[in-house]
Structure 1
Amino acid sequence: MKDNDTGMKDCIVIGAGTAGLSAALTLARARRSTLVIDAGQQSNLAALGIGGLLGHDRRPPAEFYSAGRAQLMAYPSVEIHRDLIADAIQEDDASFTVTYSSGRRERVRSMVLAAGMDYCYPQLHGMDERWGHSVFHCPFCHGWELRDRPMGVLANGAVGVHGALNLRAWSDQITLLTNGSRLTNQQREQLAVGGVGLDERPIAAFDGPGTELRTAVFADGEALSIGALLVKTTLYQRSSLARSLGASLTEPDEMLSVEAIKVDAMFRTGVPGLYAAGDAATSVPPSMAAAMASGYLAGAAAAVQSAAGY
């Protein structure tokens, strides 16, 4: 280590979303010296409110994260840094040396990867400004607030059929929009039996006042009245650290195309001292409730590792 290196800390938590804050709180209460790296990139900041997190239902996400950071700062063993991690390597003794984007370095015994995922969806006009409001990816998170509106589902194939049929719990006016793709006869029959509409025309834009959605406009100029849109979203690793440190990732799946970090029941990656929690890890669906639980378990596992001295 060089002169600008700092002393050894017990754990660094990369990411200050729900999973990262939960892991850090668990470590703090175990009196472990903990660094939390907050890049301010929480995926749900655009949402009006949190859906389905007990005790925080409908709370604005930014308010939730602010309260979480304030709770952490009550513990003297925790430091929160607004920064990015440029690189990380594992030393011969299984500790980690992490390099901030500023060039500063830290040495830590363990690491929790909780940087979240990038949510990628079709780039059609009118989507971005409505994302997290009337355009959404998770009916369990947003369906209640948008209930009983005529809804569209932007997807195709078996994923689109599944999503459209599932959405019937929140509205009885559902139309699957395939944006130019064609369904099989069997898939068409499934939709018909389920009372779901189908439109396979290419889409030009989505329109409405402000963040509200009113119509899907097709390339032929015609429009369909809808008040909400469920979109098939593909998740990608936001950070390259898992790969560079030797953790294994899953193959993309059909539903979310998630390249998730493989973990065990205690969110260990298989690399000594390396844990992963939240959306970025396997077995964690993209929800705050699941992320909070995974963060707790990863933090507990890291705390036990620190106590054991390995």
Structure 2
Amino acid sequence: MKDCVVVGAGAAGLSAALTLGRARRSTLVIDAGRQSNRVAAKVGGLLGRDRRPPALFHAEGRAELLAYPSVELRSGEVTHGVREDDGTFAVTLADGRRERARSMVLAPGTDYRHPQLPGLSERWGNAVFHCPFCHGWEVSDRPLGVLATGAVGVHGALNLRAWSDRITLLTNGGELTDEQRERLAVGGVGWDERPISVLDGPGTDLRAAVFADGDELALGALLVKSTLYQRSSLARDLGASLNEPDEMLSVEAITVDAMGRTGVPGLYAAGDAATAVPPSMAAAVASGYLAGAAAAVQLAAGY
């Protein structure tokens, strides 16, 4: 019986485990190796780790945990979880192993679902991105596009002006309202409502958006609206509530309080899976620390 099992070893999971380890709580971290930012070239906006490769961040985080004998790191995927009648938790891994713990931190990350547009997936995390605060600096002063529709597209395009004065909102066949076009015009942002056939460029770089009619728009990078969904049914299986994605935030997030408590005794959540706002590495580290601290306090109190 562990004190805590942490599902996920991204920024949030590692942060939670470090906090629990320093509180001398026996902690098992289960890592499926599916960190959302593993495809990105650099981490953006994380103090002390700004513009460093994500793989280096995760490797250093895992190495730091090895200094605490109460923390165990294990590769694997949790396929099922249950809260027992005595309030403890049991998880089953894909290889059939079963582990039990007095508390649990869910930090599995989320699946990013973006438009199925040819040329997009291979550039994801590089010339195509979802967070301007994480990637905007690296693409500053290039001609930038925003792939989205409606109010969220207008908002994203106007916000992106901080990084470039050449912004175009691409709706890929969706229609803007007259009011939205006026807002864009006043803000100095262009727009194009034609369907896009492919994103073109060498390797992971972006050269242009090619429209269905054959015309092209030169682009150096593209901000894409994505919707984030839970990777598994674990949160629901354990009785946690989820927020449904809306037009602006587009995150299916586990509902938590300021300390990562889900409302299910002993169950906490952190990172991308538990934020209803656009996620970031910095926010994940902070939420992991808070969830780990809350779990440690609960364990010390004996309930």
When normalised by structure 1's length, the TM-score is 0.96
Aligned match for 2:18, one of 3, 22, 25:
25
* In structure 2, distance between residues paired with 1:264 and 1:296: 14
Report whether the alignment pairs 1:133 with 2:126. Answer: yes
Which one of the candidate residues 245, 259, 262 is aligned to 2:238?
A: 245
The residue that corresponds to 1:59 in the other structure is: 52
Give CA deviations for 1:37-82 in whole Å, capped at 9, x if unaligned. 1111000011110000000001100110011001101110011110
Q: Deviation of residue 166 (structure 1)? A: 0.3
Describe how 1:248-287 pairs up with structure 2 within 5 A. 248-283=241-276, 285-287=278-280
Match in the other structure for 2:290: 297
Provide Cα deviations, 1:240-269, integer angstroms capped at 9, x if missing partner.
Answer: 100011100012111232111111111100
The one-letter code matched in structure 1 to 2:140 is R
Query: C-alpha displacement at 1:285, in angstroms?
Result: 3.5
Look up the match of 1:48: 41
How far off its partner does 1:239 sit? 2.1
Conserved 8 A contact 2:5-2:30: yes
Aligned residue for 2:195? 202
Whether 1:308 aligns to 2:287 is: no
- Matched residue, 1:4: none
Alignment deviations for residues 194-232 of structure 1 (CA, whole Å, 9 cap, x no partner): 000010000000001111101000000110101110000
Q: Are the aligned partners of 2:128 and 2:221 in contact in 1 as well (CA < 8 Å)? A: yes
Cα pair 1:233 1:256 within 8 Å, conserved: no
SS in 2 for 1:35: strand
Indicate which of 227, 232, 254 corresponds to 2:225.
Answer: 232
- Checking the alignment, whether the CA contact within 8 Å between 2:197 and 2:212 is kept in structure 1 is yes
- Of residues 176, 186, 189, the one that matches 1:183 is 176
Q: In the comparison of the two structures, how many residue pairs are matched?
A: 303
SS of the equivalent of 1:307 reads helix
Structure 1 segments of 4 or more deviating over 6 A? none
* 1:43/1:118 contact within 8 Å kept: yes
Partner of 1:152: 145
| Residues 278 and 284, structure 1, Cα contact 8 Å, conserved in 2 | no
Identity over aligned residues, as a percent? 76
Q: Which runs of 5+ in 2 are unaligned?
A: none
Decide whether the 8 Å contact of 2:251 with 2:277 is kept in 1: no
**TM-score normalised by structure 2 residue count:** 0.99
Q: In the alignment, is the contact (CA less than 8 A) between 1:235 and 1:256 conserved in 2?
A: no
Matched, 1:216 2:209: yes
